[in-house]
Amino acid sequence: MKTYVRQSKWKQGGLLFVFLLIMIVALSACGGGAPEEEQSDEAPADETPAEEQGDEAFTLTDGMGHEVTVPANPQRIIASYLEDPLVALGYTPVAQWTVGEGRIQHYLQDYLDGIPTIPWDLPFETVLEYEPDLLIIGSESTVGEGKYSQYEKIAPTYVLGDEVNDDWREALRAVGKVLNKEEEAEQILTEYTEVAEEAQQTLQEAIGEESVAAIWLVSKQFYIVSEDLSSGAVLYEDLGLTAPDLVKEVSATGSGNWNPVSLEELANMDVDHLFLVNSDGDEGREMLQEPLWQSIPAVKNDHLYEFDSTTSWLYGGPIANEQIIEHVLTSLVE
């Protein structure tokens, strides 16, 4: 049963240094993000019960080959940058991810309001202060250079591994396995598919084959979302929307969830609807007054939909993605 509360008809749930750090560490393909790659169903079995599951601890092999004895009912979990699947499964972490000063996952604050923060690189001393009984870590780089041995001295430490961490569906399944909530994870995925399919039909009726793109303005630089990563996967795969040629071209050569593009490239993009994530706020407003910007078809036709960086467009997970779907529906469906 899905444990987070729907806030609309279509969903449940609902930072150039700091912003680029987020992209590098969390949003880019190098450091996280939410690619939609299919994972093999033939992955080796990684669960070896130490005793009967239920009220007893059990042993799992994580994505890096560590054997981890997981407590059956963890109460003080740190799952930095995995708060989305954690919350979706009904858990509240003892500390939440942050980068820089006050940069948190604002879109999750209906669930995490008041939860203290922990730096994204998980300093040992800070982790220790929170006295966790379970650490769930996504990226392999987080535990590189011998860090894993330090973390496992603090609490059982399960690493998803990059392949799993880079696919929000598989990440949800992995977190579900660690928490002995596999059925709940599958139910969340089933419900998400239903939400996406319903939205896809509604959007098809509303705009048909009209093209859409999502771009991010940060430190006076534009980035465009890849066709099959992050919110691009929601737009083009889950919702079946049409990608303009520029998105396809950048996706074929780029390596991140969001890849840099020039204003000149954007001006030549034939796009009907444009979603803008504006991390520059009013400081970036002058960029949006440029004649080249004003020449973009979607801008000329008043089909520009602007969101700030506190929304879920820069993130991935069942809660983030349902919020993105709601944003798309409220923007494109009259």
* Domain that includes residue 204, residue range: 194-332
- Tens-digit pLDDT profile for residues 169-227: 999 999 999 999 999 999 999 999 999 999 999 999 999 999 999 999 999 999 999 99
Q: How far is residue 305's CA from residue 188's CA, in Å, rounded to a whole number?
A: 28
Supply the pLDDT for residue 311: 96
Q: Is the pLDDT of residue 5 over 50?
A: no
Asked if 249 and 204 sit in the same domain, the reply is yes
| Number of domains, the chain | 2
Q: Is 159 helix (H, G, I), strand (E, B) or coil?
A: strand
- Tens-digit pLDDT profile for residues 266-323: 999 999 999 999 999 988 888 899 999 999 999 999 999 999 999 999 999 999 999 9
Q: Summarize the confidence of residues 255-267 as an average pLDDT.
A: 94
Asked if 286 and 268 sit in the same domain, the reply is yes
Q: How far is residue 109's CA from residue 119's CA, in Å, rounded to a whole number?
A: 17
Q: Please give the residue that has the higher pLDDT: either 277 or 49.
A: 277
Q: What is the CATH number of the domain that holds 123?
A: 3.40.50.1980
Domain boundary among 121, 154, 187: 187
Q: Please give the residue that has the higher pLDDT: either 8 or 279.
A: 279
Supply the pLDDT for residue 284: 83
Domain boundary among 134, 156, 187: 187
Residues 298, 272: contact at Cβ < 8 Å? yes
- Tens-digit pLDDT profile for residues 56-106: 899 999 999 999 999 999 999 999 999 999 999 999 999 999 998 779 999
